[in-house]
Amino acid sequence: MKNKSNVVFSTNPDWQSEKKIVSLSPQGKQGNIYILRDRKGRGGKTVTVVEGYNGDLKAMLKRMQKLCGSGGSIKKENIEIQGDHRNKISDFLSKEGYNVKFKGG
* One pLDDT digit (tens) per residue for the chain, 105 residues: 455 556 666 677 776 766 555 555 555 556 799 999 998 888 889 999 999 998 899 999 999 999 999 999 999 999 999 999 999 999 999 998 899 999 986
pLDDT of the residue at 104: 84
The structure's pTM equals 0.71
pLDDT of the residue at 6: 65
Distance CA 28, CA 13 (A): 38
DSSP state of 19: P
List, in order of start, the domains of the chain with CATH numbers. 32-100 (3.30.780.10)
Q: 83, 49 in Cβ contact below 8 A?
A: no
Q: 87, 19 in Cβ contact below 8 A?
A: no
Helices then strands, counting H and E runs in the chain, come out as 2, 5
